[in-house]
Structure 1
Amino acid sequence: MTSDAVVRARHLVAEYVPGALVAILAGSSARGQATSTSDLDIAVLVPDGAGTRRETLRYKGLPVELFVHTRAGLAELFSADAASRRGTMQHMYAEGVVVIDQDGAAVRLQAWAQELLAEGPAALGPEAVETARYALTDAIDDLADAADRFEQLAVAAVVLQSAADLLLDHHHAWYGAGKWFPRRLLAVDAERGTALLEGHLRLCETADPTPLLLAATQVLNLVGSPLSEGYHRTWPGAGQ
């Protein structure tokens, strides 16, 4: 994290969100890993009665993502991010740098976010895990049989994502999207995560699905084995 990023974020919030109570600089700029194209991710607490919004803008040549919310709005965002199993706002608050703190709330909000992150997402229920096992088993079978290269690549992406989701749930860990997908996967299970990612890379480079199939099957065995025959699900309202 550089002092320039903090100063820039503070000035930006003062200009675009006057009256902000708390501002948290998150992302690569907060970690001191920003590149010339990195954006500024800023969470902003505003007084009650204001609206909650996400806004993308450009400030002095830099792309900016503003996440503006009241206390009630933040609670709703935390709840939504917990339901998505990604914890985006929780990570922003827990790991970000305070750039504005008008009413002393920043420390309390960061502690709240850290507590929620430590709890992790709610575990998938047995029925959801069973459905995920069935879906991954089906995708593995499709990948093993795929002869068309485009179909193989498409199914491989499904296998990677499905296996990663099951592995992260097994470890009671938060999901990640984009660049955070491999980061979260490797952080929670370096051995199995590496096997999945390297297996997918191998398939993309050589069309050989074997390493990815082995890695995904290993995850299936970890969470209860492959599932095809014997899978049964009754849809609500069926037969009425």
Structure 2
Amino acid sequence: MKKNNPYEAAQKFLEKYFPNCNGALLAGSVVRGEATETSDLDIVIFDETFPSSYRETFLEFEWPIEVFVHNGSSYKSFFEIDRERARPSLPRMVSEGIILRNDGIIEAIKKEAEELLKEGPEKWTEKTIQIKRYFLTDTLDDFIGSSNRAEGIFIANTLAELTSEFVLRNNRRWIGTSKWIVRSLKAFDEDFANQFVEAFDTYYTTGDKSRVICLVEAAMEPHGGRLLGGFSLGK
């Protein structure tokens, strides 16, 4: 079924459910030009009459629609949480979003989001790097030693997440999960992202672990390499 134009559908949705909101943004894949057959509409709502933030999903105007509702201040705590976890979901939506409604508040909120994204996440401490090296080393050894194909697949999944996090955070870049792992790596270094994908794809298709092992070891090398002996936590 042919869907309504996303911008028009979003406007109709606002008229039906949030006609008096102070501001609204259309964000997500439809704004980035990356929409697929299963994409939804992400709409960020700002409404001073709501006491707190919430999230809700609708099926309206031939679209699945996900709304992220905030008042004039509740979004700030979400910005801070996203900064701390280094996954800027809400700041990214606000920054990239197309304005649907605006009574004068959107510009300042967009500026906050853009400044946060530009600043990047906090730098890891040496203690954090040690902890991450230890768990990355431990997972790599599990991967190398595994002879069970089913287990190896899921160890590789964990290894991919840990490695992407290690590389990105040590370069003060935002991280992601699922499809955002690749997107975050490409935003950092497209050549490295391609090497990363090719290494894991080679393992998944052929069972050859060598490229993954080299990739993970190279990622740890500038920070001291593998770490097992001598590591302690909570002592």
TM superposition score category, shorter chain reference = over 0.9
Paired residue type of 1:185 = L
SS at match of 1:175: coil
Question: Would the alpha carbon gap of residues 192 and 34 (structure 1) be closer, same or farther in structure 2, given more than 3 Å must change?
Answer: closer
Q: State the shift of 1:23 in Å.
A: 0.6
Deviations 1:46-96 (A, max 9, x none): 115433100011112211110000122101111121122100000001111
Partner of 1:172: 172
Deviations 1:108-150 (A, max 9, x none): 1111100010011112222111110011111111111110001
CA RMSD, Structure 1 to Structure 2 (Å): 1.6
Partner of 2:54: 53
> How many Å separate the matches in 2 of 1:223 and 1:15?
54
Partner of 1:42: 43
SS at match of 1:71: coil
Matched, 1:87 2:88: yes
SS at match of 2:12: helix
Deviations 1:187-234 (A, max 9, x none): 202233322221111111111111011101110113331111121222
SS at match of 1:123: coil
Partner of 1:192: 192
Partner of 1:238: none
Paired residue type of 2:194 = T
> How many Å separate the matches in 2 of 1:24 and 1:169?
29
Q: Is the 8 A contact 2:161 2:177 kept in 1?
A: no
Q: Is the 8 A contact 1:22 1:99 kept in 2?
A: yes
Paired residue type of 2:136 = L
Provide TM-score, normalisation by structure 2.
0.93
Q: Is the 8 A contact 1:14 1:20 kept in 2?
A: no
Q: State the shift of 1:18 in Å.
A: 3.0
Question: Would the alpha carbon gap of residues 190 and 34 (structure 1) be closer, same or farther in structure 2, given more than 3 Å must change?
Answer: closer
Question: Would the alpha carbon gap of residues 157 and 33 (structure 1) be closer, same or farther in structure 2, given more than 3 Å must change?
Answer: closer
Partner of 1:223: 223
Question: Would the alpha carbon gap of residues 35 and 25 (structure 1) be closer, same or farther in structure 2, given more than 3 Å must change?
Answer: same
Give percent identity, aligned residues only.
28
Question: Would the alpha carbon gap of residues 213 and 24 (structure 1) be closer, same or farther in structure 2, given more than 3 Å must change?
Answer: same
Paired residue type of 1:232 = S
SS at match of 1:11: helix
Moved more, 176-185 or 187-196: 187-196
* Moved segments of 4+, more than 4 Å: none
Paired residue type of 1:6 = Y
Partner of 1:28: 29
> How many Å separate the matches in 2 of 1:35 and 1:143?
34
Partner of 2:144: 144
SS at match of 2:73: helix
> How many Å separate the matches in 2 of 1:232 and 1:63?
48
Q: Is the 8 A contact 1:5 1:30 kept in 2?
A: no
Partner of 1:72: 73
SS at match of 1:56: strand
Alignment: residue pair count: 232
Q: Is the 8 A contact 1:160 1:197 kept in 2?
A: no
Provide TM-score, normalisation by structure 1.
0.91
